[in-house]
Amino acid sequence: MDLILLATGKKFDRHYKKLGKCPSLESKHSTKENLSNGADAANKTTSSPEDRSVVSLGASLPLGQDDLERGESNTLNPKKQDPYLVTWDSPDDSMNPSNWSMAEKWWIIIQTSIITIVVTFGSSIYSSGVEQAADELHASIPVSTIGSCTFLVGFGFGSLPFAPLSGIYGRFIVYFLTLLLFTIFQVGGGCAQNIWTIIILRFFQGVFGSTPLANAGGTIGDMFTPIQRTYVLPGFCTFPYLGPIIGPIMGDFIVQSYLGWRWLFWINMIWAAGTLVLIFFLFPETHGETILDYKAKYFRKITGNSAYYTIHERERDPKNAIFQAATQSASLFLTEPIVVCFTLYLTVVYIINYINFEGYPIIYAKYGFNYGELGLSFIAVGVGIVIAGLLTPLTYKQYLWAYKRRGSVMCPEDRLYPLFIGAFVLPISMFWLAWTCYADHVHWIVPMIASGFFGFALLIVFFVSYNYIIDSYQHIAPSALAAATVVRYCASGGVTLAARPMYLNLGDHWATSVLGFISVAMVPIPFAFYKYGKNIRAWSKHAYKL
């Protein structure tokens, strides 16, 4: 921990001294009166802490309409004029992540995407080695499949503590420590001597791999405004969603090669370790309140005066934060129609996605695909995801148009337009796949095109649902999204166990059709909330009201 704090503090020291905003090291020898005056000057242009925005797990930074074009994740207070209260020097303070250059912001998003790809890659790659692991470790295939289930369940439960912890200790430390543990548990998987060791270790891999899923939205919220998030969030989601697609593609070739199934873990470990080195040296802290904490520590260090403090330092309470996050998430899921319906929607597309990892090999084996070629069947899904991501600028223009049409008033329902298309594409793609996968007289490219449309719908459902929940609940959006994360991953993990038996008993056509019928039931959701969403939010105790 000391090493991590040292690395983070050194990054802060270099950045802050380079900007010339902090007293120089020579000011250690200044008089207390001069230091007090300097601190007072540094806090001249601040505003009340009650106005700060709460940022975590994708929460919408600015809560007022005037802030839609420019977010400020800060703690400002000009009224108290406390010379020892450390805040931003001004609304334009270059230490504030919302004021960083767009190039620096996107570099951070790229690093966050790499972390997410690494862990989501790990969620699916094991599916390629289920049969080989079962054979070598003398277990049945259904028992070996539990390893895929426990990883997803770990994903779900891990998101509950790590979102609030990143709001207390900062994004960097939580990202680094959890990725370090994720890497270590990969080693255990590669050395496992029985199937239950793998099953248990896969759970902990999921727990510590869940951090980017829980905190990436908060990282985006630290730097971007709600309008900017219209294109940033889909752009971010495009690459991490490729992780589960890349997993079986690489995994099938690894298992087929001389390396064997254990290298599924070793490859993931090597990739995670490389990413660990990258973020240790290049990933800056983006949580505004944590940056102010480092600023206060810097003042205390160079002045020898322990009076400097931040509101965040005095208010943070890890145990209470985790408990409050868990109880609030449960409450929102049980009482809020928006959270319930869009969590259900996200759960359905995730269940379909992870069932595909069991279903596609069964479908395309009938086309004579060898083990390596079976993994390539997932490329079509990835192509659909990329196409949806490339169309993001259109959703940005649409939202900006709606925002201006309403007189610069933000309406969460304006986020739903892309889902009007995605809602129909999802079931169409499933029925298309179900009734064209006839190996004897339909070319394999036809069902693969259907898979591409599924990937397209998958990304649209995800980023529209996330943006709508964020805009609807704003400062408590982290709890709403945490509920969605827990439910969709735990449900996906449980259903994964039934995927193979479902395809073997119902057959390719009807097993896939069942998924299509379920997705048909989801079609009315975006239309219903576009029409009645405003009334539902007005009735809600927690939702944002125009």
Residue 304 or 8, more confident: 304
Q: Of the given ranges (315-319, 384-388, 503-507, 513-517), which has the lowest mean pLDDT?
A: 315-319
Confidence of residue 512 (pLDDT cuts 50, 70, 90): very high
Residue 475 near residue 469 (C-beta atoms within 8 A): no
pLDDT above 90 (res 341): yes
How far apart CA 73 and CA 96 sit, in angstroms, is 7
pLDDT above 70 (res 58): no
Helices (H), 392-476: 392-405, 417-434, 445-473
Query: What's 526-544 look like in SS3?
Result: HHHHHHHHHHHHHHCCCCC
Q: List pLDDT tens digits, range 185-198.
A: 999 989 999 999 99
Architecture (CATH level 2) of domain 90-285: Up-down Bundle (1.20)
**Can you give the pLDDT at residue 201?**
94
Average pLDDT of span 338-355? 91
Residue 201 near residue 192 (C-beta atoms within 8 A): yes
Q: List pLDDT tens digits, range 175-231.
A: 999 999 999 999 998 999 999 999 999 999 999 998 888 788 788 888 988 778 777
How confident is the prediction for the chain on average, in pLDDT? 81
pLDDT above 60 (res 248): yes
Query: What's 403-419 look like in SS3?
Result: HHHCCCCCCHHHHHHHH
Straight-line distance from the first to the last Cα atom of the chain, in angstroms, rounded to the nearest whole number: 44
How far apart CA 96 and CA 286 sit, in angstroms, is 8
State the CB neighbour count (10 A cutoff) for residue 306. Answer: 10
pLDDT above 80 (res 10): no
38 Cα distance to chain centroid: 40
Task: Let me know if domain 328-546 sits in CATH 1.20.1250.20.
Answer: yes
User: Residue 307, SS3?
Assistant: coil
Residue 80 or 506, more confident: 506
Query: Would the CATH topology of 90-285 be identical to that of 328-546?
Result: yes
Closest of 526, 398, 513, 393 to residue 457, by C-alpha: 526
Q: Under 8 Å CB-to-CB from 81, ≥6 apart: which residues?
A: 40, 43
Domain residue extents for the chain = 90-285, 328-546
pLDDT above 70 (res 69): no
pLDDT above 70 (res 44): no
**Can you give the pLDDT at residue 546?**
64
State the CB neighbour count (10 A cutoff) for residue 313. Answer: 15
User: Residue 496, SS3?
Assistant: helix
Residues in the chain, total = 546
Q: List pLDDT tens digits, range 74-119.
A: 455 555 567 888 888 888 888 899 899 999 999 999 999 999 999 9
Residue 389 or 7, more confident: 389
Q: 451-477: buried (b, 16+ CB within 10 Å) or exposed (e) per residue?
A: bbbbbbbbbbbbbbbbbbbbbbbbbbb
**Can you give the pLDDT at residue 67?**
41
Average pLDDT of span 22-26? 39
**Can you give the pLDDT at residue 407?**
66
Helices (H), 60-194: 102-125, 130-136, 141-169, 171-191
**Can you give the pLDDT at residue 55?**
30
**Can you give the pLDDT at residue 56?**
31
Q: 38-51: buried (b, 16+ CB within 10 Å) or exposed (e) per residue?
A: bbeebbeebbebeb
Q: List pLDDT tens digits, range 295-313.
A: 888 888 888 888 888 888 7
How far apart CA 131 and CA 147 sit, in angstroms, is 12
> Quick one: what percent of the chain has pLDDT higher than 70?
84
**Sign of the alpha-carbon dihedral angle for 233, 270, 246, 480:** negative
Q: What is the DSSP string of 60-76?
A: -S--SGGGTTS------
**Can you give the pLDDT at residue 307?**
84
> Quick one: what percent of the chain has pLDDT higher than 90?
31
Average pLDDT of span 50-68? 34
Q: Under 8 Å CB-to-CB from 137, ≥6 apart: which residues?
A: 144, 192, 193, 194, 195, 198
Residue 395 or 192, more confident: 192
Q: List pLDDT tens digits, range 438-489.
A: 888 899 999 999 999 999 999 999 988 988 888 888 777 778 888 888 899 8
How far apart CA 185 and CA 208 sit, in angstroms, is 9
Average pLDDT of span 43-67? 34
Average pLDDT of span 49-71? 35
Q: List pLDDT tens digits, range 120-171.
A: 999 889 988 888 999 999 998 889 989 989 999 998 888 888 878 888 888 9
pLDDT above 90 (res 65): no
